[in-house]
Amino acid sequence: AHNLGKGEFVAQVPYFPPLQSSTDFSVEHCRDIIRQISGDASLDLTVHNAKPWAMGAAVATRYRHGRILLAGDAAHIVPPAGAFGMNTGIQDAHNLAWKLARVVQNKAPDSLLDTYGAERKPIALANMNLSVDNFHEALRVAKVIGLDFETAQSMNSLLNGPWSAWAPAAVRRQVLDAAVSSGLLS
């Protein structure tokens, strides 16, 4: 979560497989990156954790296939930007629970379960799209402090391009380190 008033924020730092892995980014290394970006080597800060994450967004084509019903993360992958994933999943469960109970108790026809996907899928799509938009808005903040997503994608393409097949790993790593350092210092 971000609370800039309290000095709390989330920093998304790209890394470049196969030359780097998430294990290269310890809490200490991430602290050093933030200090380098800030321009204050003595900046007093606490990094609570450093974990890898890959942005993904998808909604199932359908929520029901016969006796199989999807809900929550099984039905949709929503980026965390906006915290809509869990809320959408809880709402899925609520919508499905009462319908399933009515059908199981023979108080409603089986076709009632078809309304579940028709009702929930548009909401999941809207929440997913809003979360993706929020993610891209957050990238604007990262860009201001020198962590440009498009540059990172270009760097990844370059590092994994045709030349990488013949360049020794140590050389590729040196190119990456130089490029990242240059980007952080600009």
Domains of the chain: 4-54+148-185 (no CATH), 58-135 (3.50.50.60)
Alpha-carbon gap, residue 31 to 10, rounded angstroms: 12
Which pLDDT tens digit goes with each residue over 68-92?
A: 999 999 999 998 877 778 899 999 9
Q: What secondary structure letter does DSSP report for 180?
A: H
d(CA 15, CA 23) in angstroms, rounded, equals 10
Q: What is the rounded distance in angstroms from the CA atom of residue 66 to the CA atom of residue 114?
A: 10
Q: How many CA atoms does the CB half-sphere of 160 hold within 13 Å? A: 12
List the end-to-end C-alpha distance of the chain, in Å, as a whole number. 27
Peptide bond just before 18 cis, omega within 30 deg = yes
Residues 6+ apart with CB under 8 A from 26: 50
Instruction: Flag residues of the chain having pLDDT under 50.
Output: 185-186
Q: What are phi and psi of 77, to 5 degrees?
A: -110, 115
The amino acid at 104: V
The confidence score (pLDDT) of residue 180 equals 65
DSSP state, residue 156: H
pLDDT at 65: 97
Burial class (CB in 10 A: 0-12, 13-18, 19+), 160: middle
What is the CA angle 167-172-175, rounded to 5?
A: 130
Residue 178 has phi, psi (to 5 degrees) of -65, -45
The reported pLDDT for the residue numbered 171 is 78
For the entire predicted model, the pTM comes to 0.64
